Structure 1
Amino acid sequence: MKRSDSRRKFLQTLTWSSLALSLPSLTFSQTQTKKKIKIGLISDLHQDIVPDGEERLEAFLKKMKRDKVDALVQLGDFAVPSAKNQGLIERFNKAHSEVFHVLGNHDVDYGYSFDQCVKAYGMPSRYYSRNLGGIKVIVLDGNEEGSPNPTQGYPAYIGAAQQEWLKKELEEAIVPVMILCHQPLAGIYPLDNALEMQDLLGKYSEKILLAINGHAHVDQHLEIQGVHYVHINSASYYWVGENLAHFSYPEEVHAQFPQLDKTCPYSESLFALLTIDLEKGLISLEGKKAEWLGPSPQELGISYLTEAQKRENLIPEIKDRVIH
């Protein structure tokens, strides 16, 4: 790829962790709107597990307000639609005129339903699309039943009807497309039918800027069939489970939040600023770095990731990346 001096200078100006991707060249001739779009991304807040979810969300909202973003996105596992969480949900919704919600598997814990989430969050439906500046944002629902080969404790599947809807949305797209899904479409802890979805998206790679997910609580980037897949790390923690349960907070805090001992919390909230520069043909993803609050998963002896994944992806940050 040709690298101009202006592009190199642009990359050098990033002050957070950065990810630079080349955008699909075939889409820009039809883009006549905003030349630079800034989007705040936060994922896996898990308000019902952590003691400081409101503070972590507030840190994100304050930063995105200072950066004057064009939209806010939460990528799922945000907060169950209970009465006590309504204030936090409204705080997010009222923070910007353009907000996008993605449904996560834990948003229906404690007996809640996805229909209740859709209503509480103010979503148009479980999956939907909306134009934002010069791009088309497609929000998928990776929580569907019907997988012929379930691999996770929760449904992690996109069925035939939603796939047909997605194909139609991609066929009709005349501007660059960004895809959002809670569950990864590629990489660590993917959908049951991730390969099927990769084949589908690969056919439209010239239209797709990138596909963004949460769910795995890791930092990862892959390119498959011309499509960039980016994992946004959790705002709050990495889950280690019952066998590695331990205390990272004072005992009285753990008494109030009984699932907290199964996590390795981050010392501060993680989130990202996504900038899509349509004029320069670049994406920058600027993230944050924190520390482990207490022992790390590696120190506890976590065993269900490869050594490379533990080293490269299981980290309390959204790390620096420059991809040409």
Structure 2
Amino acid sequence: MNDRRAFLKGALATSIVISLPSAAFSLFDKGNKPLRVGMITDLHEDIMHDGLLRMEAFLKVMKRKKPDALIQLGDFAYPGDKNKEVIELFNNAHPNTLHVIGNHDMDAGYTREQCVDYWGMPDRFYVRKINGVSFVVLDGNDKGSPVHKGGYASYINEMQYQWLEQQLEQIDGPVVIVSHQPLAGAYAIDNAEQVQGLLAKHSDKILVAVNGHTHIDAHLEVQGIHYVHINSASYYWVGGKFQHDSYDESILKEHKYISYTCPYKEALFTLMTIDPKSRTISFSGKTSRWVGDSPEELGFEGYENAIPGKEIVPEIRKREIKS
């Protein structure tokens, strides 16, 4: 127990400082105040028994922090009446709520068009300007990848790529790129190198790219662009080979897919702050605990870009990107 307390204390204090090119900050108008955005991803309301409680925990903290916007980064909740309560809870929590479509939001026969309509999105990909920063929201669920090997589509098609290229040419202020599927690192989209090359051409205006999907805590830099993987609010998926009981039978009977996961006891989420004066981008930290066995205890070894105890953790680490 003492070891656990020591770990939690150390994890809460973790701070990762990252170097950031300064050009994008020069695009801010003088006097711009810090921009703060609450972020939550991969709630998986349709897998977890307590998704609504996790969303409530996020919004309770955000109400106190008073951010300028809220973003959910996908794999949120099927766009139908069964999830109306959690969807409306998020939508009504702030005047500026941004949605990103995740691959699992279209399970059970739902469509991207239903996500757009039911969640109240302007389109499946779009731009929202908030306090001088343009948030370019992408949809990584396009089909048509020439290297697709089965499973969920993970691709930016030519039409969306041309749209992104046009937006980056036209936008004359700082930009944040937002997606569900990562554009770099673990489980990146099929044409990640193509998109990375485009973003690199506009590194003078791109502050950071953030994504969900991977359920890991990670950061990498590619060609001057910083990519941050935001951890899931709910769990890490270990799959059928590592199926186990983390909750009691009454919960798992109604929510069978939880047994394929290592859940987090408390919801994970973060507050991203962009401060033009100090020329920094920071992500607040939040640490939880595993419910039941951890991936390491189950013998799960991870994969090349994500290792238990490193990227696979019940935590979002505190990060500061400085120019």
Q: Same fold judged by TM-score > 0.5? A: yes
Q: Deviations over 1:260-293 (max 9, x none)?
A: 1101000100000000001211111102100110
Any conservation in 1 of the 2:155–2:189 contact (CA below 8 Å)? Answer: yes
Letter in 2 for 1:25: S
Residue matched to 1:232? 230
SS in 1 for 2:313: coil
CA distance in 1, matches of 2:253, 2:227: 38
Mapping of residues 199-278 of structure 1, within 5 Å: 199-278=197-276
SS in 1 for 2:303: coil
Distance 1:178 1:308, change over 3 A: closer
Alpha-carbon shift at residue 18 of structure 1 (Å): 4.5
Alpha-carbon shift at residue 195 of structure 1 (Å): 1.4
Mapping of residues 307-318 of structure 1, within 5 Å: 309-318=307-316
Q: Deviations over 1:222-251 (max 9, x none)?
A: 011000000000000001111111110010
SS in 2 for 1:264: strand
Residue matched to 2:58? 60
Structure 1: which 5+ residue stretches go unaligned?
A: 1-14
Alpha-carbon shift at residue 25 of structure 1 (Å): 2.7
**TM-score, scaled to structure 1:** 0.91
CA distance in 2, matches of 1:63, 1:16: 19
Structure 1 runs (4+) greater than 6 angstroms displaced: none
Mapping of residues 87-106 of structure 1, within 5 Å: 87-106=85-104
Distance 1:23 1:173, change over 3 A: farther
Any conservation in 1 of the 2:139–2:156 contact (CA below 8 Å)? Answer: yes
Of 292, 298, 303 in structure 2, the residue corresponding to residue 305 of structure 1 is: 303
Residue matched to 2:9? none
SS in 1 for 2:135: strand
Distance 1:216 1:197, change over 3 A: same
Letter in 2 for 1:197: V
Alpha-carbon shift at residue 313 of structure 1 (Å): 0.2
Letter in 2 for 1:257: H
Identical aligned residues as a percent? 51
Distance 1:138 1:308, change over 3 A: closer
**TM-score, scaled to structure 2:** 0.92
Letter in 1 for 2:242: L
Q: Does 1:138 align with 2:136?
A: yes
SS in 2 for 1:179: strand
Any conservation in 1 of the 2:246–2:291 contact (CA below 8 Å)? Answer: yes
Residue matched to 1:25? 22
Alpha-carbon shift at residue 304 of structure 1 (Å): 4.5
CA distance in 1, matches of 2:13, 2:53: 21
Distance 1:22 1:177, change over 3 A: farther
CA distance in 2, matches of 1:25, 1:297: 39
CA distance in 1, matches of 2:305, 2:127: 38
Residue matched to 1:173? 171
CA distance in 1, matches of 2:14, 2:142: 34
Letter in 1 for 2:22: S
Count residues in correspondence.
310
Q: Deviations over 1:139-187 (max 9, x none)?
A: 0000000011114620000011111111111111211100000001011
Any conservation in 2 of the 1:21–1:282 contact (CA below 8 Å)? Answer: no
Residue matched to 2:5? none
Any conservation in 1 of the 2:16–2:319 contact (CA below 8 Å)? Answer: yes
Alpha-carbon shift at residue 22 of structure 1 (Å): 5.0
Residue matched to 1:81? 79
Q: Does 1:155 align with 2:153?
A: yes
Residue matched to 1:40? 38
Any conservation in 2 of the 1:39–1:275 contact (CA below 8 Å)? Answer: yes
